[in-house]
Amino acid sequence: MIKHLFKLVWNRKRSNLLIMLEIFVSFIVMFAVITLGVYYADNYNQPLGFTYENVWNISIDMQTGTDDYWSPEMVNTTRQLYLALQEFPEIEVAAGAHTAPYSLGNRTSVNVYEGKRVEMEVNEVTDDFQKVMGVQLLQGRWFEKSDDALNWKPVIINQRLARAVFGDEDPVNQNYRPWASDEEDHRVIGVVNDFRKDGEFSGLGNYLFERKRLDDPKSRPPANLLIKVRPGTPAEFEERLMSKLQAVAREWSFEISPLVRMREDAFKIRLIPLIILGLIAGFLMLMVGLGLVGVLWQNVTQRIKEIGLRRAKGAAAEDIYKQILGELVVLATFGLALGALLVVQLPLLDLISFIRPPVYFLSMVIALLVIYGLTLTAGLYPSWLATRVQPAEALHYE
């Protein structure tokens, strides 16, 4: 039976080519949308690396126009802002950071260590950053005040970067510079759990923390102050906090945002493209489904003579139904095989390295099932029409 179905499809290869092409294109589009959705779902189930509850971010605009310029006066003003935060009983602890969780900005570095090219995100944070963000320390220690006396710079890396650079070796006390152009001595003092600064939907990446001092004129002042407020802190505290900040730095501007709110905004930025692509894909699937129904309907109409002769030879309506659906499955298999052959090259060639191979293959399986379901659904009515053809109707075409 299967051999016969392949023969029927091959004999009508010109008219079937359009159907195969529609199925192929539909699979590619559906695979892209499903891959993005599965990628987000896979990321969401990974450890975040920090806590955002009761944490507020104070973004500082020093009116310099660039992060690469600062003065001792700016460093001192930032320190005064930090000290002013200690006066509020609503604030448990405060810390400075160059980039805040869920913010759009990132600092990336590409370095070569013993022949290994490693890309990573780099953040400058103060000593209390771990307390504010609840960062989980796996090995070694966090930054502390006694590091002021060191004649080298301490750095802390996440577990993924430790594996990428040092493999199975213990990374603590190993030399590692975050910047290839930096000739100063840097040493790893601690390893934290995988830290995903961009939130739940972002992929796992390499991350490194540099220590930032608020009392060193040579150290760039942080662009963000993160505070952990006590549970139940009212919203009106934000107004009092802003008044205090403006009193310390009148010429600067500030934006206070709870990380819960920043998290919601980050979710929207990530999910809106997925929703739009999903709607486009859904509309495309609807058009493809209607197109398949029309093409198959026309196909059945043109084959009334053939179907009538089969009925005259004793073929039951169920046999005709299975034949039409079987031909459609064969057509779908040809189109999907071409599509699967194309997309399977992505993980094999590592063309999009940030997506894990299991995500690719799960997305491909889901896309295959969706397109098979679509084509079979589109073929139900034309197949039923074929079963209504009576043997006598074939005489009209003699």
Divide the 398 residues of the chain into consecutive groups of 10 and give the mean pLDDT of each group.
51 64 84 89 90 94 73 90 93 94 87 82 94 94 93 94 91 87 86 91 91 88 94 89 92 93 91 86 79 67 59 61 72 83 78 78 90 80 63 53
Handedness of CA 45, 51, 55, 58 (dihedral sign): negative
Are 125 and 212 spatial neighbours (Cβ–Cβ below 8 Å)?
yes
Query: Cα dihedral angle (358, 360, 361, 367), rounded to 10 degrees?
Result: 140
Say which residues have a Cβ less than 8 Å from residue 307's Cβ, sequence separation at least 6. 300, 320, 386, 389, 394
SS3 content of the chain, % helix, strand, coil (to 5): 55, 15, 30
pLDDT computed for residue 122 by the predictor: 93
Q: In terms of DSSP bridges, do strands 207-211 and 116-125 run parallel, antiparallel, or are they unpaired?
A: parallel
pLDDT computed for residue 302 by the predictor: 58
Query: Cα dihedral angle (37, 40, 46, 52), rounded to 10 degrees?
Result: -140
pLDDT computed for residue 350 by the predictor: 67
Q: Which residue has the tokens 């293959």?
A: 361
Q: How far is CA 41 from CA 9, 48, 181, 206, in A?
A: 39, 13, 38, 20
Q: How far is CA 105 from CA 17, 91, 121, 311, in A?
A: 48, 26, 11, 69
DSSP letter for each residue of 133-144: HTPPEEEE----
Whole-number Å distance between alpha carbons of 138 and 389:
72
Nearest 5°: phi and psi at 5? Answer: -65, -40
Are 312 and 394 spatial neighbours (Cβ–Cβ below 8 Å)?
yes
CB atoms within 10 A of CB 126: 21
Q: How far is CA 310 from CA 16, 210, 319, 387, 391, in A?
A: 21, 78, 9, 11, 8
Burial 232-256 (b: 16+ CB within 10 A, else e): ebeeebbeebeeebeeebeebeeeb
Tokens linked to 209: 């923390």
Are 305 and 397 spatial neighbours (Cβ–Cβ below 8 Å)?
yes
Are 226 and 96 spatial neighbours (Cβ–Cβ below 8 Å)?
yes
Whole-number Å distance between alpha carbons of 120 and 200:
18
Q: Which residues pair with 210 in a beta bridge?
A: 124, 155
Task: Tell me the residue type at 239.
Answer: E
pLDDT computed for residue 376 by the predictor: 79
